[in-house]
Structure 1
Amino acid sequence: MVDKDGFRSNVAIVISDGRGKVFLAKRLGQQSWQFPQGGVDKGESADQALFRELYEEVGLESSDVEIIQRSKKWLRYHIPPSMQRKNSKPLCIGQKQKWYFLQLTGDTSKVCFDTSGSPEFDDWQWVNYWYPINSVISFKQNVYRNAL
């Protein structure tokens, strides 16, 4: 859902291994890495979107994680004009995100990128907690810094 200001509602998912490492996923066919994230559908709560996206993007279910914390407010980032879909209505100029910090309680063998038939990622790794800030695409760095 895109709000009146042009920001799409979204959830961002940080999964911890409990030893100071976080789950970072590689975009399909690209060399860019990010936390899993996805849109909040109409009529869906952010918590519902979290668990839907967690399963669709990485194959994990609510029983595989524990919510440690969630952001109290929406954090925003702008999409550069050159990357905006100019023909979409309404125009989306960025994302507003609820950030979820999860502890993995299940097994990493359950990680699967093709549960929805259209995978967004093709690899993943455990990285140090602060590593994603400087490795994510530049226009997302501030929102990562503010969230972490």
Structure 2
Amino acid sequence: MTDPSSLPYRRNVGAVIFNEAGKIFVARRTDMPGAGGGPDEGVWQCPQGGIDDDEATDHAVLREVSEETGMTSLMLLGEHPDWLSYDLPAELVGKALRGRYRGQTQKWYALRFTGPETEIRLDLDAHQEFDAWKWIPLAQLPTLNVGFKKPIYEKLAVSFSRFS
């Protein structure tokens, strides 16, 4: 078994995307148990992803959102002031994140989606991460099936409440 303390955190960006009505975008992961179930089953999350070498975090978040969702009509609203970190559960250490990380440390941004919903495409990447999406109230974010990411989503629901 891999000792988590021997592994670094993966640097990552995340996006809480608001529509004009003040609701946020969440998508259901394709690689989690129950992901193919009913409309509310599976693991729902906000888009997030890695940061390329020498890439600015504000550029990384726009790139990741575009790759995962097809959204390009985005406006930067703000960012959470701190990096937020989470540790993987013990059963995922050495397996998830290609086995190279103990968890992730993330820079989170609030974005406004200004385009038509027809712009949202989850099937653009050969390794499709999501199979469904929906708009929800920001306050509902921590109540989704997000498991070990719940403390981060609780902080973001407070930090970004001014944008809803």
Instruction: Please classify the TM superposition score into its range, dividing by the shorter chain length.
Output: 0.7 to 0.9
Shift of 1:142: 0.3
Q: Give the partner amino acid of 2:100.
A: L
Select 1:138's aligned residue among 144, 147, 162: 147
Runs of 4+ in 1 over 4 A off after TM superposition: 86-90
| Counterpart contact for 1:59–1:113, Cα < 8 Å | yes
| TM-score scaled by length of structure 2 | 0.80
- Structure number with the higher strand fraction is 1
AA of the residue aligned to 1:11: V
Structure 2: gaps (5+ residues): 1-5, 36-41, 158-164
Residue type at the aligned position of 1:102: L
CA contact (8 A) 1:56 1:114 kept: no
Offset of 1:103 from its aligned partner?
0.9
2:65, 2:57 → 1: CA distance?
12
Offset of residue 81 of structure 1: 1.6
Q: Taking structure 1 as reference, are residues 109 and 84 closer, same or farther at Cα in structure 2, changes over 3 Å only?
A: same
> How far off is 1:108 after superposition?
1.1
Q: Where do 5+ consecutive residues of structure 1 fail to align?
A: none
- Alpha-carbon distance in 1 for matches of 2:23, 2:97: 37
In the alignment, is residue 93 of structure 1 matched against residue 95 of structure 2? no
Alpha-carbon shift at residue 85 of structure 1 (Å): 2.2
Please, what TM-score do these two structures have when normalized by structure 1?
Answer: 0.88
Percent identity, aligned pairs only, is: 34
1:7 to 6, 9, 14: 9
Partners of 1:79 and 1:46 in 2: CA distance: 22
Offset of residue 110 of structure 1 = 0.5
Quick one: which of 51, 68, 79 aligns to 1:40? 51
Count, aligned residues:
143
